[in-house]
């Protein structure tokens, strides 16, 4: 699979991304545990949906987000965070700088094992890594069908989204656990149609193709909606691990 640069095109829809993408449910706080007062690094922070939860929980948050437009929206909404200019594969931070590293719905854009090694480098001994994805519950048949509309079937450069991170048993991370939290997101049909326009597979398409995708999404949602509102089954999934002592 070649890299067509789509991972750095989200900035073209940054405002819509922030408005329509799902933030984490409040229950996600229990998955993170007590992060109040801890030094937390969020990698691939986007426009800050997960950042805002970390701030609310009292963490001292630093972020890495390589897209200038996405980062600008994040800082407008969360001006208190610290910004590190870099990328996952070359984190601009000293060794053992953070208690926690978090990445949400971004892991599939990182080059491995470089990103994993960098996160291990900047984590303190026994620090926690959270690799999370927040999105549609694909084990619900109609949601799985809806998800297919996000990109063309012949899209050779589509990035597969995993639900878990995998680590070598002899690598820097131990106590690896997988987690899942189901939740429900109430949205209007118009909101979900707009959401689909923020996916990478849609951003790279022509206006005509995006409009056609939107029509397909709208028709499918109308089968599930009540008075123009749909209850979307969502799942926050991922992997947590502990940084092995050096």
CATH number, position 82: 3.40.50.150
Residue at 24 is within a domain: yes
Residue at 227 is within a domain: no
3-class DSSP state of 151: coil
Q: What's the structural domain count of the chain?
A: 1
Residue at 197 is within a domain: no
**DSSP class per residue in 92-148:** -S-TT-EEEEEEES-GGGS-TTHHHHHHHHHEEEEEEEEEEEEEE-TTSHHHHHHHG
Residue at 196 is within a domain: no
In angstroms, the CA 156 to CA 161 distance is: 14
Residue at 110 is within a domain: yes
- Determine which helix (DSSP H) or strand (DSSP E) holds 73, and give its type and residue range: helix 68-77
Residue at 208 is within a domain: no
Residue at 117 is within a domain: yes
One digit per residue, the tens of pLDDT, for the chain of length 246 reads 444 454 456 778 899 999 999 999 999 999 999 999 999 999 999 999 999 999 999 999 999 999 999 999 999 999 999 999 999 999 999 999 999 999 999 999 999 999 999 999 999 999 999 999 999 998 999 999 999 887 655 555 454 556 789 999 999 999 999 999 999 999 999 999 999 989 877 787 778 888 888 999 999 999 999 999 999 999 999 999 999 999
pTM (2 d.p.) = 0.89
Q: Whole domain around residue 20: which residue ranges? A: 6-138+155-185+233-243
Residue at 73 is within a domain: yes
């Amino acid at each position: 699979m070649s890299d067509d640069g789509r991972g750095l095109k989200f900035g073209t829809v940054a405002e819509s991304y922030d408005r329509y993408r799902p933030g984490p449910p409040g229950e996600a706080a229990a998955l993170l545990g007590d992060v109040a007062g801890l030094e937390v690094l969020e990698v691939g922070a986007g426009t800050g949906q997960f950042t805002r939860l970390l701030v609310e929980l009292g963490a001292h948050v630093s972020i890495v987000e390589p897209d200038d437009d996405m980062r600008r929206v994040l800082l407008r909404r969360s001006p208190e965070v610290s910004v590190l200019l870099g990328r996952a594969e070359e984190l601009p931070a000293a060794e053992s700088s953070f208690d926690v590293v978090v990445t949400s719905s971004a892991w599939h854009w990182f080059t491995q094992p470089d990103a994993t090694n960098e996160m291990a480098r900047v984590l303190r001994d026994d620090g926690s890594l959270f690799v999370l994805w927040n999105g549609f519950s694909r084990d619900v048949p109609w949601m799985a069908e809806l998800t297919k509309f996000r990109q063309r079937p012949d899209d050779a450069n589509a990035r597969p989204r995993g639900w878990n991170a995998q680590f070598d048993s002899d690598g820097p991370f131990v106590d690896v656990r997988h987690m899942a939290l189901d939740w429900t997101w109430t949205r209007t049909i118009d909101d979900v149609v707009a959401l689909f326009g923020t996916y990478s597979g849609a951003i790279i398409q022509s206006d005509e193709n995006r409009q056609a995708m939107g029509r397909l999404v709208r028709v499918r949602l109308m089968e599930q909606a009540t008075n123009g509102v749909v209850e979307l089954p969502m799942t926050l999934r991922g992997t947590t691990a502990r940084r092995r002592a050096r």
